[in-house]
Amino acid sequence: MSNSPFPDRARIDAHDKVCGRTTYSADLHFPGLLHAMTVPSTIAKGWLTEIDGAAALAVPGVIRVLTPADMPSPGDLTDAGRPLPMLEAAIAHLGQPIALVVAETIEAAVAGAGQVRATYREAPFTVAFDDPQIRCDDTPAPTLGNADAAFAGAAVTIEATYTTAANHHNPLELLSTTAVWNGGKVTIYEGTQASNVVKASVARSLRVAASAIDVVSRQVGGGFGQRGEVQRHTALVAHAARLVGRPVKFVMPRSQIFHNARFRPNVRHTVKLGATAEGRIVSAHYDTLQQNSRRGGYRADWYHAGPSRIYGIANYKGTSGDLRLDTPDPGQMRAPFEHPAAFAFESAVDELACRLRRDPIELRMLNDTKIDPQNGKWLTSRTLNACMTRGAARFGWSRRSPEPRSMQATDGAALGYGMAAGVYQAAMHPAIATLRVSANGATHYASAGHEMGQGLRTTIAQALLAHLPIDESRLSIVVGDTSAAPQHVTAGSWGTASSVPVAIAAAERMNAAMNEFLDGRVVPGNMHEQLARLRRPYLEVEVAMFAPGQGREHVARLRSGGTTIAGLHGTYPDFTCLSYIAHFVEVCIDRHTRQIRVPRVVSVADCGRVVSPRTARSQLHGGVVWALGAALREKSEVDARYGGWLNADLGEYFVPVNADIGEIEVELLDQPDYDANSAGVKSLGEIAMVGVAAAVTNAIFHATGVRVRHLPVRLEQMLL
């Protein structure tokens, strides 16, 4: 295997995307296709006592109205095997679908949905995060050493509470599902990160064998956790298509996405740090309290994964709680736990540096570690110091005068420099790949993975083209299709580390197969030409690969559609493997308007070997932009009167626009980590945004002397 860096290459799908030729799930058309629209609940909690579809059925073009009465009965399924409900009378949150209208046209479906009459019995509900009445559950969280004693004995301590707001995903591509039955089998076209999970879940919901279902998710127009599980409507649409005997397409309006899709919950974080007079952190307490739904399983304890490892703190005490509200299930959203946790923890470290009058980089370097304090295992390629050193040089950190309010921009704006760091798990899953090189010039490759715009196909192409003399223009890479290869959820930033080593192994196996076929004959040309000259239609290989600590049983689990991740939280049997990042942010606070601007960000990351420099840099840019949104713009507001989300559209949910974004310089160390896997690849997608928000508020503190402990930062907090 070659150890050299990969060349820069344009996205293999760039031309199609720019020309509008890329086809997303909802772009597909099928003969006889019907359109569906959901009817959202108008109450926040209670029971649907009556539902009347007669007026909807009278709308020309409407052919069926599905209500809870049309759902398959749960039968003898146990609670554990019970599928996600499709339509049910019990209402758990505002906007929960209560009916599905199927019609000849989208217009008729929408008009019909507006005519469905529902009667409810309302129940009291709670949606506000600060309601003192609500139920709180505790989940065990990591505890190491004796944090209380170490805190009591610390020379310097700080304690602060931070809050991070609920945020919603707003990718360009709306959620959609199209179901097409053929005989007893159904194909579901849906932009998902989890085609295998969708397959298994729909099978359970519809009481059919998984072998009767294929899920096709060739392109996802943005997926960072919103599409990491099955959607509630997926099986419903497939059920509707089965009942009416025609293909059915459902595209969820954006306002309903706010009420039905997974979101980042409100979180309250309290951090206490104790340090020696020199700045060695000897104790950390970190208490998290997150918003959850009444029965939601979103993990409350995962906020601790980063803070408990990043600085090798031997005495750590974490707690994690859920506030149970009548809002929808929260769920993954880019760096789901790591971004909010890093905002709190990296702010606290900055507060400690200020208290100690130490440079925040020096303080972090003083707390460097080679060992994962959680389990005593060694940290492979621990490069945080290198990221900070490189970032500081590139940013010009040495120009910073340490005192708050001591720097000014040329226009008189208060100028601040801030920095923060981040870690993220380097995880993997097994993969099975098939590779066929044909005499006619085509190469066909299929494996697990989902293309969510992050550039997975380009990354796989990089791996194949580095090792195979083939025609790039006729290379087709199929991912996200359960009929082409066993699929696995693509999330947790394990995409590249899971898809590239197997691609390289497949290329090497292909080279070996070619050599065996040539058997010493010297034939000119690339592989296609060699095969053509020797009249061999194609060569095909299949390769299976698994992660450190995994074995054949994990490959078998993948084949049967299961989820099987190695390196969760970076933990492997013999080591801990993390990616690292350091962010440097410049802010300007206008003298008169107090508007906050971020003219410049420098981010330096270590994701191991960089397989696709173009898309890797793009991931970093995107992560920084997303974090600037979280830091300065995005907040999903609840409506305490009626439940649900108040600003459920892009007019009132503010995301950053081009004018909000200044210069973003990104750099990757590009040092392979061969302990992680044979390609030396770690993780990148999520770490890109870990720590940015704290770097912003640390810079705001430096500019103004105001410590903002709440996200998003609002202009009024800058009024002194």
- Contact residues toward ligand MOS (CB under 6 A) are 193, 224-225, 228, 332-334, 336, 491-492, 686
Q: Which is nearer to ligand MOS, 264 or 467 (CB)?
A: 264
Q: Which is nearer to ligand MOS, 655 or 706 (CB)?
A: 655
Q: Which is nearer to ligand MOS, 225 or 416 (CB)?
A: 225
State in angstroms the smallest separation of the CB of 429 from ligand MOS.
12
Q: Kindly give the pairing relationship between strand 185-189 and strand 213-216.
A: parallel
Q: Which is nearer to ligand MOS, 193 or 482 (CB)?
A: 193
Q: Which is nearer to ligand MOS, 452 or 461 (CB)?
A: 452
State in angstroms the smallest separation of the CB of 313 from ligand MOS.
25
Q: Which is nearer to ligand MOS, 284 or 491 (CB)?
A: 491
State in angstroms the smallest separation of the CB of 176 from ligand MOS.
18
State in angstroms the smallest separation of the CB of 690 from ligand MOS.
11
State in angstroms the smallest separation of the CB of 493 from ligand MOS.
7
State in angstroms the smallest separation of the CB of 139 from ligand MOS.
19
Q: Centre a 10 Å sphere on the Cβ of residue 286 and count the other Cβ atoms it contains.
A: 26
Q: Using an 8 Å Cβ cutoff, are 564 and 430 in contact?
A: yes
| Residue 43, both tokens | 């109450």
CA gap 357, 404 in Å, rounded: 11
State in angstroms the smallest separation of the CB of 694 from ligand MOS.
19
State in angstroms the smallest separation of the CB of 205 from ligand MOS.
23
State in angstroms the smallest separation of the CB of 22 from ligand MOS.
20
Q: Which is nearer to ligand MOS, 314 or 568 (CB)?
A: 568
Q: Which is nearer to ligand MOS, 53 or 328 (CB)?
A: 328
CA gap 544, 562 in Å, rounded: 15
Q: Which is nearer to ligand MOS, 289 or 333 (CB)?
A: 333
Q: Using an 8 Å Cβ cutoff, are 384 and 580 in contact?
A: yes
CA gap 224, 685 in Å, rounded: 9
Q: Which is nearer to ligand MOS, 445 or 626 (CB)?
A: 626
CA gap 76, 70 in Å, rounded: 18
Q: Using an 8 Å Cβ cutoff, are 579 and 682 in contact?
A: yes
b/e code 182-200 from CB counts within 10 Å (16+ = b): eeeebbbbbbbbbbbbbbb
CA gap 126, 129 in Å, rounded: 9
State in angstroms the smallest separation of the CB of 252 from ligand MOS.
18
The owner of tokens 């009058």 is: 357
b/e code 599-636 from CB counts within 10 Å (16+ = b): ebbbbbbbbbbbbbbbbbbbbbbbbbbbbbbbbbbbbb
**Residue nearest ligand MOS, CB atom distance:** 225
H helix intervals, 272-426? 338-356, 360-366, 384-395
H or E stretch at 663: strand 663-668
State in angstroms the smallest separation of the CB of 267 from ligand MOS.
15
Q: Which is nearer to ligand MOS, 490 or 698 (CB)?
A: 490
Query: Phi then psi for 491, rounded to 5 degrees?
Result: -165, -175
99 pairs with which residues across the strands? 39
320 pairs with which residues across the strands? 139, 288
Angle between helices 338-356 and 692-704 (to 10 degrees): 30
Q: How far is CA 464 from CA 6, 438, 453, in A?
A: 11, 15, 19
CA gap 550, 548 in Å, rounded: 5
Rounded to 10 degrees, what is the CA torsion of 116, 90, 322, 264? Answer: -20
